[in-house]
Amino acid sequence: MAKLPPYTSTGERIWHYSFRVICGLIFLFLILPILVVLPLSFNVEPYFSFTPGMLALDPEAFSLRWYKDILRNGMAAPDAPLNLAWFADTWNNAQWMRAIRNSFFIGICATLLSTALGTLAAIGLSRSEMPYRRLIMSILISPMIVPLVITAAGMFFFYSKIHLSQTYIGVIMAHAVLGTPFVIITVTATLVGFDKSLVRASNSLGAGPIQTFFKIQMPLIIPGVISGGLFAFITSFDEVVAVLFLASPEQRTIPRQMWSGIREQISPTILAVATLLVLLSIILLTVIELLRRRSQRLRGITLS
């Protein structure tokens, strides 16, 4: 840490350290709720609170039963011997497993759709000759701003009319729309530092526009595209309002299952799922950070 300059008075020194303490407390406020979930998910009792046994670090007070519950809940024969048939049973019948499958399926489809369309649009929008740039940009960003209830209600009526509500396609379309603003924002940010003369150089060396795009532009903006895609994925993966309005039980996703878990039977299985989701977000965050560094390196910005 930087040393305090010699001219600082005692009062300033006190403030300097108390300011650090205040910031530390705010960081705790940010991170503690997420960390609290982890130990609670190993609770042997069906409660959301720390038992005396847990506080005494008694191994008896901890268990993996809620993690097992993720696999077992809804199975036809949960107590059958652990073999291939058991796993097939879990895969096909367990409620949470279905939610996990749905979440990944819908998330990946929505991400592909929004990343492909969003990247193209961001490239178009970053060109100065684009007419009505500002207006179009604000329309394309608006799904992020409009309250989700209004979006979901509007889609509910419209998709019902064209028979897309309660189908996978409807949910995927809704999630793709909600994810595009993130793709546009991240890709546009990468394009800001993009040197246009590279495209001209490539053209003058005889490459066609398509070759230029894939050989020159794409490798440079790919970190932005991937992080935009991850944003879009996490948006879909975390979205519940559109699912509440548009999906049938068949399209139940993880957040939807958690929603009914919190509202109906509150069980620590939700905490176990939450722990897994925290791990997922740590992985995604790491990937994004690595991509950001790579993008900075590619564009010649060094970390100080």
Partner 1 sequence: MDAAQPITAADGTPLKKKLAQAMFRSKLRATGLVVPLLAFVLASFVFPILALMWQGVYNNTFERLMPNLTEELRVWDGVSEPTEEMYAMLVADLRQNRADKTIGKVASRVNQELAGTRSLFTSTARKAKKLEPPYKESVIKTKKKWGELKVWQAMKLTNQSLTPGFYATSLDAVQTVDQGFMMKDEKRQIYTKLFVRTLMISGSVMLLCLLLGYPVAYLLATLPLRYSNLLMIMVLLPFWTSLLVRTTAWIAILQSQGVVNDLLVWVGVTGDESRFSLIYNMTGTIIAMTHILLPFMILPLYSVMKTIPPSYMRAARSLGATPTRAFIKVYMPQTVPGIGAGGLLVFILAIGYYITPALVGGQDGQLISNMIAYHMQKSLNWSLAAALGGLLLGGVLVLYWAYDRVIGIDNMKLG
14 binds partner 1 (CB under 8 A): no
Q: Binder to partner 1 among 140, 187, 232, 247 (CB under 8 A)?
A: 140
User: Which whole-number Å values give the CA distances from 10 to 5, 14, 17, 49, 266, in the listed order?
Assistant: 12, 6, 11, 44, 52
Query: Looking at the DSSP assignment, which residues form a beta bridge with residue 43?
Result: 62
User: x/- string (CB under 8 A) for partner 1, residues 54-93?
Assistant: ----------------------------------------
Q: What six digits make up the tokens of 53? A: 């046994």
> Distance between CA 97 and CA 253 in Å, rounded?
10
Query: Looking at the DSSP assignment, which residues form a beta bridge with residue 48?
Result: none
159 binds partner 1 (CB under 8 A): yes
272 binds partner 1 (CB under 8 A): no
247 binds partner 1 (CB under 8 A): no
**Which range, of 56-64, 80-88, 169-177, 194-202, touches partner 1 by CB under 8 A?**
169-177
- What is the torsion angle, in degrees rounded to the nearest 10, for the CA atoms of residue 211, residue 216, residue 218 and residue 224? -170
**Which range, of 12-20, 64-72, 82-90, 198-206, touches partner 1 by CB under 8 A?**
12-20
36 binds partner 1 (CB under 8 A): yes
Asked if 187 and 221 count as a contact pair (C-beta separation under 8 A), the reply is yes
> Distance between CA 71 and CA 269 in Å, rounded?
10
Q: Binder to partner 1 among 108, 112, 141, 222 (CB under 8 A)?
A: 141
Q: What six digits make up the tokens of 21? A: 């303490």
246 binds partner 1 (CB under 8 A): no
> Distance between CA 65 and CA 186 in Å, rounded?
41
Smallest distance from partner 1 to CB 155, Å? 5
Nearest to partner 1 of 81, 147 (CB atom): 147
169 binds partner 1 (CB under 8 A): no
What are the helix (H) ranges across 41-164? 52-55, 65-72, 84-93, 95-125, 133-141, 148-161
302 binds partner 1 (CB under 8 A): no
13 binds partner 1 (CB under 8 A): no
Smallest distance from partner 1 to CB 61, Å? 15
Q: Binder to partner 1 among 97, 99, 121, 216 (CB under 8 A)?
A: 121
Smallest distance from partner 1 to CB 5, Å? 9
Nearest to partner 1 of 89, 103 (CB atom): 103
How deeply is 104 buried, as exposed, middle or buried, from its count of CB atoms within 10 A (0-12, 13-18, 19+)? middle
149 binds partner 1 (CB under 8 A): yes
Nearest to partner 1 of 89, 224 (CB atom): 224
Q: Which of residues 182-241 bind partner 1 (CB under 8 A)?
A: 182, 185-186, 188-189, 227, 231, 234, 237-238, 240-241
With a CB cutoff of 8 Å and minimum separation 6, the contacts of 101 are 91
> Distance between CA 194 and CA 250 in Å, rounded?
44
112 binds partner 1 (CB under 8 A): no
Query: Looking at the DSSP assignment, which residues form a beta bridge with residue 249?
Result: none
To 5 degrees, how large is the angle CA 153–CA 158–CA 161? 130
130 binds partner 1 (CB under 8 A): yes
How many CB atoms lie under 10 A from the CB of residue 228?
A: 29
